[in-house]
Amino acid sequence: MIKSLVTAVLASILDIAWPMCRSRENAVIAQSDTAARLWVAMGRTGKTMEALVDHVAARCGIDIAQHMIDREYGR
């Protein structure tokens, strides 16, 4: 149940980011970074965050740098 709640929160954060990316604002990266930090704080895996970031990148048609995930997970 907690995992579902966290996933819903992350989805909400990314929903906010999509209109911003259409306006070509850098806020989409900040929103994704916030989602990454929340996911790490909840002890989730990098693979899930990568999937979320890939989804946002595909939806927005932009490239969200892999180094964001690398920074969070120390790769």
Sign of the Cα torsion 72, 73, 74, 75 reads negative
Retrieve residue 36's tokens. Answer: 């990454």
Kindly report whether the global pTM for this prediction surpasses the value 0.85: no
Instruction: Provide the number of structural domains found in the chain.
Output: 1
Domain that residue 31 falls in:
2-73
When comparing pLDDT for 37 and 25, which is higher? 37
Is residue 8 over pLDDT 60? Answer: yes
pLDDT tens, residue by residue, 38-75: 656 655 555 666 676 677 667 666 555 554 555 556 65
